[in-house]
């Protein structure tokens, strides 16, 4: 029954958002200092993976972020921020360890996790924001 309710909720949300849901990506978008604020304010729920190319745990986490983006298409949008290339955003959110995942709801930072956490843990954090 709860999956039926969830299906109805998603259908109603899609109707209310119109074409906006069709534009929601199912894979993480690359974000930078120049478009970060616009990105987190564009969608109701945004999750940003902050990483660097030399970081082993970041490379381990990347496929998990890709899977979550597909799992939550239409409900959450995922982004990836290279902290080596985007110092201003990394400093603004006090990212001192990577990977760091930032969680935004309606443009506001509501949570932050650090480390290559298991998919179930990250999924739980996303679910909390969507609730």
Average pLDDT, the chain: 89
pLDDT digits (tens, 9 = 90+) for 60-92: 999 999 999 999 998 999 999 999 999 999 999
Pair 63, 121: CB distance under 8 Å: no
Query: CA angle, corner 57, sides to 65 and 112, nearest 5?
Result: 60
What's the CATH fold of domain 24-130? Answer: Glutaredoxin (3.40.30)
Q: How confident is the model at residue 19 (pLDDT cuts 50, 70, 90)?
A: very low
For 125, phi then psi, to 5°, come to: -65, -40
Residue 104: pLDDT above 90?
Answer: yes
**DSSP conformation class of 76:** -
User: Which is catalytic among the residues 55, 68, 81, 116?
Assistant: 55
Can 55 be counted among the known catalytic residues? yes
User: Which is catalytic among the residues 40, 58, 65, 77?
Assistant: 58
**Residue count of the chain:** 131
Quote the pTM value.
0.82
């Amino acid at each position: 029954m709860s999956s039926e309710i969830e299906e109805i909720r998603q259908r109603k949300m899609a109707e209310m958002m119109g074409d906006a849901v069709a534009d929601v990506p199912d894979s993480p978008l690359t974000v930078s200092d120049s478009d970060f604020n616009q990105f987190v304010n564009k969608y109701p729920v945004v999750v940003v993976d902050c990483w660097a190319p030399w970081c082993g745990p970041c490379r381990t986490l990347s496929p998990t972020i890709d899977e979550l983006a597909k799992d939550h298409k239409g409900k959450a949008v995922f982004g990836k921020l290279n902290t080596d290339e985007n110092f201003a955003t990394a400093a603004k959110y006090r990212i001192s360890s990577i990977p760091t995942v930032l969680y935004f709801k309606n443009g506001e930072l509501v949570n932050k996790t650090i480390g290559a956490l298991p998919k179930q843990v990250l999924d739980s954090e996303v679910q909390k924001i969507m609730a």
